[in-house]
Structures are given as C-alpha cells and as structure tokens.
Copies of this chain bind each other. A is one copy, B any other.
Amino acid sequence: MSSRKIVVVGGAAAGPKTAAKARRMDQHAEITIIQKESDFSMASCGYPYYVGGFFDDRAQLISSPTGVIRDSKFFLGAKGIQAMALTEALSIDRENRKVKCRSIGSDATFDVEYDKLVLATGADAVRPPIPGIDLDGVTALKSLADADYLRQVRDEKKVRRAVVVGGGLIGVETCEALELAGIEITIIEMQPQLLMFLDWEMAKLLENYIKTRAANVITGNRVVEFVGENGKLTGVRLDNGGEIPCELAVVAIGVRPNVGLARECGIEIGSTGGISVNEYLQTTDPNVFAVGDCIEIPHLLTGKQVLAPLGDLANLQGRVAGQNVINGNSVTYPGAIQTGICKVFDWTAGSTGLSEAQARRAGFENTVSVICPGVDKPFFMGGELIVLKMLADRDTGRILGVQGVGPGDVSKRIAVAAIAVQAGFTVGDLLNSDLPYAPPFSPAVDPIITTAHVLENKMLGRMPSLSPVEVKKRLDDGSGPFMLDVRSPVEYETERLGIGEHLIPLGQLRQRLNELPEDKTAEIVCYCKISLRGYEAAGYLAAKGYENAKVMEGGIAAWPYPREK
C-alpha cells in the first residue's frame, strides 16, 4: 500500500491543525508542512499580551500547553508529521502535483510531491505606501519578529511616545500593550470611529473610555507621512496638517490574504481577495484545499463571501480540511457570522452578527435595534457596566446582531448571542431563556435577556423612544425636546449630561407634573442612568395625557457625547 502524500503550505494555525487532523484520520499518510518562518503554531493572537507584559516567557507563544516547543522534532515525534521550517513554497505545479520549494538562504530548489495540497498561507499586514514608512521606528505587529521588536521597546523603556496607525482589533490591542509599557499613545483612525465592527455610538463609548487612559484617539484623520531624522522616526504628519511627535509607530490598518502562490498557479481568487473555496474548503482545483486567513468564507446572515482572518476560525477550518483531504469531501465548513472581541485595558468590546451599518449595507431594510446598559452581576457582588446593542429584523423578529462594550463580562453575552444568532433565534426565542444564574455570575435577569425584553417592548410599540443620536440631533437643530432626568438628586450631582435637562426623581413625578410643559403635545424625553426609570416615567406621562412622552434609549450610560459631569 502506497501511502497518501498530504502537503500543507503554512505552519501558523490553520496549517498545523489541518496536518494534525489528517494524521488522526490516517496514521499512514505522509504529511508535510512547509513553513517559511522559523517557528510553527505561533500563538499570534497572543503577541499583544506578550508585548504588554501579561507574561514574559516568549516560549509560551510557540509551545504546546505542556510547555514543549512546537518545532520540527515535536511534530515528527508526537505526530509523525514532517514540518519543514525556513522553507519557502515558490510555485505549484498542479498538473504534476508538486510544490517547488527553497530553503531560506539557499538558492537550490527542490520539489515536494502531493496527492492533496492544503494552502494555509495566511495574511500579511497591509503596508501602506506612505512616505517614510521605512524609517527606523515604524513597525507592524503581525509577525513574531514584530512582537520581539515591540517587546524590546517595552523592556528598554526608551520610547516615550508612540502612534498606532489604525483603530481596528490589532490597533486597539497594541494601544493597550504599549500603554502598559508606560508609553504615551495616540491611535489614528481614518474612519470616523474605532472598531468598525461596532456601530458608531458603541465605538464612541469605548473611545471615551480609552481617552481616560494615557491614550489619545484621533478619528477621521490619517497619516500622510512618517517624519524622521537620520533614518529614525520623530513623528507622523496628518492629513489635516497636524504633526504628532513620536519615536514609534505601529501600523495596524489591516491584513490582506496571502494568495500569490494560489493566484500564480491559476487557482481562483474571490472578489474579496481571498482564495475561493467550496463548502469542503476545496479550491477550484479539486486536489488543492485552502484554510485560514487566506480564504474567503460565506457570511451566514448575508450569504456573501467575506474575509474573516481569525485564529479560532482557522482552527475550525483546519479540522474540516484535515478530514476531507483524507476521507474525500465528507464534512463541510458552513461559514461564520464575524464574531469578534477585544480587550482594551479594563473594558471589552465585542460583536456578533451584523452591526446596524453592516445590515443596511447588506440590504436589510427593515431592522430595529436598541441599546441597553446593565450590570454583569448584582451590585452587591461588584457588578460592572456592560452596554449591549441588539439588532433584529422587524418583520421576522430574527436577531441579526449583538454588540457589547464596557468593563463588565461582555464576552459571555457575545458568546451567548453568537449561538442565538447562529440558531436563527428571534427576539421572542431569547425572552425566556434559561441561563445559568447565581449572583457571582449574573443578575437575576441577564443583561442579554433584558436587552431582548427592551427590544421586544420597542418592537411592540410599547416604548416610544429616541436613541441618544436622535436626541442629540434634535438638541442641535433647535427643536430641543423637554429633557427629563428622573434620577435622584444624589445621582444628578455625581453625573449629568448638562444639556438643559430638568430633574424630577421618578418617585416624585406623580406630585410634580406641574413642572412639565403645559402643552401636552410637547415632546418630553425621559431618561435615567440606564433608562429603566426613564421608561417607567414615559409610560406614566403617556397615561396622564402627555401625547409625546418618550424615553431616551440606554440613558446616560449610552450617551456617546461629552457631558457636563
């Protein structure tokens, strides 16, 4: 019996996972990993935490859970896989099923034959053609070498000011890492907001928080030049002419699938720039599969192909491809819903499914959303704020997406929401969910369920409401409604919007209606810290004949603009 030859190009995440799964499917196959870099199975998502000093042992980034370095010896001994480091795949001869390779540093080439080939070539950091980008002090945080460089920056403590170009996941994580190293940071983002997977007002809440740390955020502007002296970075020049002095710049404006090898041998590349694969993760060549950051996959809600360069999906895809290269096309990879999360200092920001802006672009025209702040645990257990936003299709009630930001446990709620979205849950399906409840873990009604309750109220027309953005627009255009803060005086003294609001605590509202506008058609917007009391006030006023009593969604906790206190 001649054994099958499986060749995997790429040794970061999806590649080794594919190889390991293939091995478990077939103990006799010849399995080879071709890896350009010197390391395998690098935990690249961990780089920001190594740079930030969450841990100091670099080896943990390339080790198995039991502390064994995942090198060629490990792969051979533990898995019977030939893992070739510092080996570049130069080209693919699909007709003769072989990959032309070269050892880095040598000119000689050699061929590796395959029966099935798996491309796990990953993605590269986008390097924009900005003058000065080659200056010393300009880097990315994509490779282990980048991480080493930035860790050294941290340990040497010479850099005082840094700029992070790009406010996506990696940019924000890098910001945290460098700030923890005592460096003064400015994030510069071309878009009007950080983290484009969030809607604007959610991103703004996070931005407001980040600014409370030693980190500045500039949105809607971009770097047009890296300025230097003697080959060393001294600052960045912005589009609006401003200049920010800094000794370090980390460029994190995104990644681009590394598809050169595939393209050159005629394998189809999709319109997103990722390699096209079918549900078996097979490319247009039946003998070639592709997995990980280099492919495009279906978005389960829109049906459109998207790039989703995330380590968790890479591993799942590797498990699928590893089976199919051995057993034939037997298992499918369904696609994803672009669930994402990041930690920024003491806050978390996460999202699953579609944001409101994404839904609009994807053609969902009749959606309804609500922002709902709450606590992750009871106050007496040290509960922390989380602000959730839930989006649903108005006709079907189907949940299209959930976002969350705040210092509380956002991760659990996004995980729960991710399953609900994938299951096709409607808002109604979520209303009475039986989640694990005990005070160390959640309030009696979990914030994700409360959010569903509020969204249902809104969908049923029980909650005439305005979002903070809508309220701000009315205030700015002079059609200012009567703003009614129904909290207690103590709360008002501690924290308030300062937008000409009137304070009448909910408990006194029944006795103080005379302080409201005489015109019962006047727009009155009620709110409190999270607008639960605001909701009760609006309901009471409506019953008292105020025809235009509304609640401001999310209250002060969801107000994305500057406030007086």
Q: Which of B50, B343, B379 is A380 in contact with, Cβ under 8 Å?
A: B50
Most chain B CB within 10 A, of A61, A339, A446, A507, is at A507
Q: Are B436 and A418 in contact (CB under 8 A)?
A: yes
User: Contact: A433 with B419, CB < 8 Å?
Assistant: yes
Interface centre among A50, A73, A434, A445 (most CB of B within 10 A): A434
Q: How far is the CA of A23 from the CA of B341 in the complex (A)?
A: 38
CA distance A379 to B50 in the complex (A): 12
A312 located at the interface, meaning its Cβ lies under 8 Å from any Cβ of chain B in the complex: yes
Q: Which of B61, B320, B422 is A433 in contact with, Cβ under 8 Å? A: B422
Q: Given contacts A49-B439, A341-B437, A381-B55, are A420 and B419 in contact (CB under 8 A)?
A: yes
Partner of A311, one of B334, B375, B429, B444: B444
**Residues of chain B with a CB closer than 8 A to A348's CB:** 440-441
A342 contacts B311, CB within 8 Å? no
**Which B residues are CB-close (under 8 A) to A539?**
23-24, 27
Complex contact B45–A444 (CB within 8 A): yes
Q: Does B381 contact A54, Cβ atoms closer than 8 Å? A: yes
Closest B residue to A538 using CB positions: B24
A449-B316, A543-B27 in contact; A439/B45 too (CB < 8 A)? yes
CA A379 – CA B416 in complex, angstroms? 24
Q: Which of B49, B77, B424, B506 contacts A507 (CB 8 A)?
A: B77
Residue contact B540 to A80, C-beta cutoff 8 Å: yes
CB 8 Å contact bits of A119-159 with B (1 = contact, 0 = none):
00000000000000000000000000000000000000000
Residue of A45, A310, A320 with most chain B CB atoms under a 10 A cut-off: A45
Also in contact, A423 and B419, with CB within 8 A (given A43-B380, A54-B381, A315-B444): yes
A409's closest neighbor in chain B, by CB?
Answer: B412
A336 to B434, CA, bound (A): 6
The closest CB in chain B to the CB of A56 belongs to: B380
CA distance A311 to B535 in the complex (A): 23
Binary flags per residue of A45-61, CB closer than 8 Å to B gives 1, else 0: 11001100011010011
Which of A65, A339, A375, A487 has the most chain B CB atoms closer than 10 A to its own CB?
Answer: A65
Q: Is the CB of B381 within 8 A of A49?
A: yes
For residue A68, CB closer than 8 A to chain B, the reply is: yes
Contact of A61 among B80, B311, B380 (CB under 8 A): B380
Give the nearest-CB partner of A317 in chain B: B432
| A557 vs B419: C-alpha distance when bound (angstroms) | 28
**Which residues from B are CB-within-8-Å of A312?**
434-435, 437, 442, 444-446
Interface assignment of A240: CB less than 8 Å from any CB of chain B: no
Report yes or no: B378 in contact with A432, Cβ–Cβ below 8 A: no
A45 near B380: Cβ-Cβ < 8 Å: no
A380:B444 contact, CB within 8 angstroms: no
CB neighbours of A263 from chain B (8 A) = none
Question: Looking at A43, A78, A350, A352, which has the most chain B CB atoms within 10 Å of its CB?
Answer: A78
Query: How far is B540's CA from A183's CA once the two chains are assembled, in angstroms?
Result: 51
Contact call B412/A444, Cβ cutoff below 8 A: no
User: Does the CB pair A436–B423 fall under 8 Å?
Assistant: no
Within the assembled complex, what's the spacing in Å between the Cα atoms of A515 and B337?
49
Q: In whole angstroms, how far apart are the Cα atoms of A339 and B66 in the complex? A: 33
Q: A288–B434 Cα gap in the complex (Å)?
A: 25
**A340 at the A/B interface (Cβ < 8 Å)?**
yes
Tell me whether A283 is interfacial, beta carbon within 8 Å: no
- Taking the nearest CB of chain B, how far is it from the CB of A353, in angstroms? 9
- The residue on B at minimum CB distance from A413 is B415
Q: B439 contacts A415, CB within 8 Å?
A: no
A32 within 8 A of B: no
- Interfacial chain B residues near A341, Cβ < 8 Å: 436-438, 441
Query: Whole-angstrom distance from the CB of A359 to the nearest CB of chain B?
Result: 17
What CA separation (Å) do A310 and B444 show in the bound complex? Answer: 9
Residue contact B378 to A43, C-beta cutoff 8 Å: yes
Question: Which residues on the B side are within 8 Å of A506 (C-beta)?
Answer: 77-78
Contact with B along A315-327 (1 / 0, CB 8 A): 1100110000000
Taking a contact as CB atoms under 8 Å apart, the answer to whether A420 and B423 are in contact is: yes
Q: Which residues of B contact A24 (CB under 8 A)?
A: 462, 535-536, 539
Nearest CB on B from A255, distance (A): 15
Does A475 sit within 8 A of B, measured CB to CB? no
Cα A378 to Cα B432 in complex, Å, equals 33
Contact between B13 and A444, CB atoms less than 8 A apart = yes
Contacts of A507 in B (CB 8 A): 68, 73-74, 77-78
Contact A438 B78 (CB under 8 A): no
Q: Are the C-beta atoms of A436 and B78 separated by less than 8 Å?
A: no
**Interface CB pairs A-B, < 8 A, 22:** A27-B544, A45-B438, A46-B380, A49-B380, A50-B380, A54-B380, A68-B507, A74-B507, A80-B540, A173-B438, A310-B437, A312-B437, A315-B444, A319-B431, A334-B432, A348-B441, A352-B434, A412-B412, A416-B419, A418-B434, A419-B423, A422-B429
Given known contacts A65-B375, A310-B437, A333-B432, what 5 new A-B pairs fall within 8 Å (CB)?
Answer: A24-B535, A314-B444, A338-B434, A411-B412, A419-B435
